[in-house]
Amino acid sequence: MRFLLLVVLFVLSPATPARAVESDPRVAPTFNGTVQAVAYLGTTVYVGGAFTKASWGGRSYPRERLAAFDGRTGALLSWAPAADGPVAALAATPGAIYAAGGFHRIAGAKRDSIARLSPTEDTVTAFRPDIAGTPYTLAIGNGRLYLGGSFTAVNGRKARNVAAFSLRTGKLDRTWRASTDDRVHALAVAGDRVFLGGAFKKVASAKGHPHLAAVHAVTGALDRRFRPRAVAEVNAVTIDGAGVYTAGGGQGGRAAAYTLKGATRWQRVFDGDATAITTIDGTAYVGGHFDRVCLTARNGAQGRCLDGSVPRVKLAAVTGGGRLTDWNPQANGVIGVRVLNTGPTGALDAGGDFTMIGGLVRPRFARF
């Protein structure tokens, strides 16, 4: 009873202002199809998805599932390597942009769902892994490119849903031995750990680490001390100095924050899936399919909040203490927001299937 009383007092307290991000979108390119991935290299913003055109300055330009713009001015750049299928993930490092998704040709070359691109030219490098399945997510750290998805082999070698490559040589890292029993939707690197989020129940055949786990960045060995209680499939993971944050599904959807040791800091429940999450100055920004945030953790069929709710249409923000803020720009559409990310220019970037956000026409992409 004491726990329930604390929860009710907490959720009914007034919303806390979010000072890091305003609610009015800035000027930036928009797109004629879904935006699924955003990455940064210096002040350049790279965007991937299922679009075929980008709009900027009142004109439309061909952009086959990849585009880039100046993060300071919002101006669309000439970088335009074409992919013949959707780009689901991007990762950037000096001298290279990595792309993964459902394509088979990119920048005029054959590539099986993953490619390394020049950040300034419409060209690919010799990096050419063979993926038996579908990649969903990429992350970079510790001299490696980490890949997650739903696949069974890489370059003919058994690989269960996660793999790592050397950034220097491009070769599959055979000493990194992480594996899961089901798909991996999200990866995030912090120090010597790689955090995995997804639909899996086991990591390296070990039970007790469903949906969210940590493995060693060099060996892939499971960190058995990190045991968060992620109760449903995790769609997105991000990390800051305070801990690990997730956006996920379940009955409705939920966002959660954990310490770096796996203890739960806070959890917010929505009436639809949470699919994206990022942080700025300790505030977590959440995107997804939802229209309302529940006042308690109880929800019912189709995610309906059982103890009251407040409107937050496809976007919400939560303080480091777990309080819902008054940030409420609202996006339209059924799917809503698919990706949120923050870069060196201090902007919050949102991509998805929406056509309006913050009361303004912003097809599929907006920055705050």
Per-residue pLDDT tens digits for 292-326: 999 999 888 888 899 999 999 999 999 999 999 99
pLDDT in tens, 92-104: 999 999 999 999 9
Q: What is the rounded CA–CA span in Å between residue 271 and residue 296?
A: 11
The pLDDT of residue 151: 98
* Percent of the chain residues past pLDDT 90, beyond the cut: 87
- Phi/psi for 175 (5° steps) reads -85, -10
Res. 53: pLDDT tops 50:
yes
Number of CB atoms found within 10 A of residue 221's CB: 15
Give residue 345's pLDDT: 82
Mean pLDDT in the chain?
93
Tokens of 361: 């026409």
Residue 27 has a pLDDT of 86
Q: Is the pTM of this model over 0.85?
A: yes
Q: Are 158 and 176 in contact (CB under 8 A)?
A: no
- Statement: residue 235 has pLDDT above 70: yes
pLDDT digits (tens, 9 = 90+) for 200-210: 999 998 998 99
pLDDT band of 24, cuts 50, 70, 90 = low
Q: What is the pLDDT of residue 14?
A: 42
